[in-house]
Structure 1
Amino acid sequence: MGEIVDATHLSQPNASNHLRCLSECGLVAGEQNGRRVHYRMTDPRVVTLLNIIDGILTGGPVDVEDCQNY
């Protein structure tokens, strides 16, 4: 969870709520490992899609982080 919170800048409760929703929809699955839960995407096509989107947003003529309207 900590890695997700760090990467998304969401609060821990907010990230937990999103992950619960994604889990209930079948998009992610969690595997308990002690006090930690390891989450994974259940469909590899979602990972491919996210990688494509990331490439578009960061590989274009202007990085999305530089967009004034973002």
Structure 2
Amino acid sequence: MLKVDLDMKVKFLHGFAHKTRIQILECIKEKEKTVSHIVDALNGNQSNISQHLACLKGCGLIVGRQDGKYTYYSLRNQQIKELLNMFDVVFEQVESDVACCDRHIG
């Protein structure tokens, strides 16, 4: 078994721990997008989306590609996409338990 620094693992998982960040990851799961495209798709504001993009980048989940004055954001690799898909599979199995949990609201 790989030895993983638990603090780094928690930091990585932090990227998934906010609704807006999950929305961003889902938004760019199939195709890279600019901040403007993400803002439009999520009906968000640019400042807030940019802060979440910085968090996702810092957690190693996404990368940015500069093209002229635009930065295009995408998932770091195929494994991140597979992880998001696996979250959906597992969530489907535990959804009723999660719905009953009142320890972690919102």
Distance between the aligned counterparts of 1:43 and 1:34, measured in 2? 23
Identity, % of aligned positions: 39
TM (norm. structure 1) is: 0.64
SS in 1 for 2:66: strand
Give ranges in structure 2 of 5+ residues lacking alignment.
Answer: 1-34, 92-106
Distance between the aligned counterparts of 2:42 and 2:83, measured in 1? 18
Match of 1:39 in 2: 73
Please give the root-mean-square deviation of Cα atoms over the aligned residues, in Å: 2.0
Give the C-alpha shift of residue 9 in structure 1.
1.1
Distance between the aligned counterparts of 1:8 and 1:50, measured in 2? 18
Distance between the aligned counterparts of 1:22 and 1:8, measured in 2? 16
| Pairing 1:10-49 to 2, within 5 Å after superposition | 10-49=44-83
Which aligned runs of 4 or more in structure 1 are off by greater than 3 angstroms? 48-53
Structure showing greater relative contact order (alpha-carbon pairs closer than 8 Å, 6 or more residues apart): 2
Q: Deviation string for 1:5-26 (max 9, x for gaps)?
A: 0111110011100000000111
Residue-pair matches, total:
55
